[in-house]
Amino acid sequence: MADPLDAIPASDPFALFDAWLAEARVSEPNDPEAMALATATPDGAPSVRMVLLKGHGADIGPRTPAGGGFVFYTNAQSRKGGEIRANPQAALLFHWKSLRRQVRIEGPLAEVSADMADAYFHSRARASQIGSAASDQSRPLDTRETYIARVKALEVEYEAREVPRPPHWTGFCLSPRRIEFWLDRPNRLHERRLFTRVDDAPGQAAPGWTSTLLYP
């Protein structure tokens, strides 16, 4: 069945994102939670890389910003971690090629609570925990053997006990100020709808949001 003329409703953007992500989990062959994360230095030099969405919604845990957001985890001493610390603004992009859809999200970042970071770190496979603890992410590495040796040393050190979360391994929540949904249409007649975060505005598409279509 063909999509209706207006396939992106002016509704709650979090609910709409949930619906699109659910479809992507069925149709996307690999990592439907994969998203491009764009950060920038204080003087505006951009960088982008792929990370995984690890939580989202209007209420995703303690110390996340009011209005909810989108959570990912990283080594805060990495390049992206340093850029986030210096300039806590970012943009996300989901591109689900199987559905021919995109979602763009922009807003400020805030660090999640230590409890939230602990809970996610210890939910990961033990090998991933050790790999993260052994890595000085983004820093120069003389040989791969050096890294593998550090991994093996930690496997021995923590053989019979829990791997502690490194204090610099944490999570960040992007609190969206703009969420744009994009849907492919034939002949480049694409459909775009932008949701903008506002407080107590008349004519809101959903609590805290206004909505408008955009020319493709």
Tens-place pLDDT, residues 43-86: 999 999 999 999 998 777 555 555 689 999 999 999 999 999 99
Spacing of C-alpha 40 from chain mean position: 16
Sign of the torsion formed by the C-alpha atoms of 61, 63, 67 and 69:
negative
Tens-place pLDDT, residues 94-138: 999 999 999 999 999 999 999 999 999 999 999 999 999 999 988
pLDDT of res. 21: 97
Residue 1 located in a structural domain: no
Residue 144 located in a structural domain: no
Q: Given pLDDT bands bounded at 50, 70 and 90, which one contains residue 1?
A: very low
Residue 209 located in a structural domain: yes
Instruction: Kindly state the DSSP code that residue 33 receives in the 8-state scheme.
Output: T
Tens-place pLDDT, residues 139-195: 999 999 999 999 999 999 999 899 999 999 999 999 999 999 999 999 999 999 999
Residue 43 located in a structural domain: yes
One-letter identity of residue 114: A
Residue 40 located in a structural domain: yes
SS3 (DSSP) at 37: strand
Q: What value does the mean pLDDT take over residues 88-96?
A: 97
SS3 (DSSP) at 56: strand
CA distances from residue 26 to 23, 30, 33, 72, 110 in whole angstroms, order as listed = 5, 10, 12, 22, 31
Domain count, the chain: 1
Residue 117 located in a structural domain: yes
Q: Which residues pair with 34 in a beta bridge?
A: 52
| pTM exceeds 0.85 for this model | yes
Q: Nearest Cα to 69, choosing from 80, 50, 83, 55?
A: 55
Does 42 score more than 70 pLDDT?
A: yes
Domain harbouring 70, CATH code = 2.30.110.10
pLDDT of res. 58: 75
Residue 148 located in a structural domain: no
Residue 34 main-chain phi, psi, to 5 deg: -70, 135
d(CA 25, CA 42): 36
Domain span at 106: 13-124+167-214
pLDDT of res. 75: 93
Does 202 score more than 60 pLDDT?
A: no
Q: Given pLDDT bands bounded at 50, 70 and 90, which one contains residue 198?
A: confident
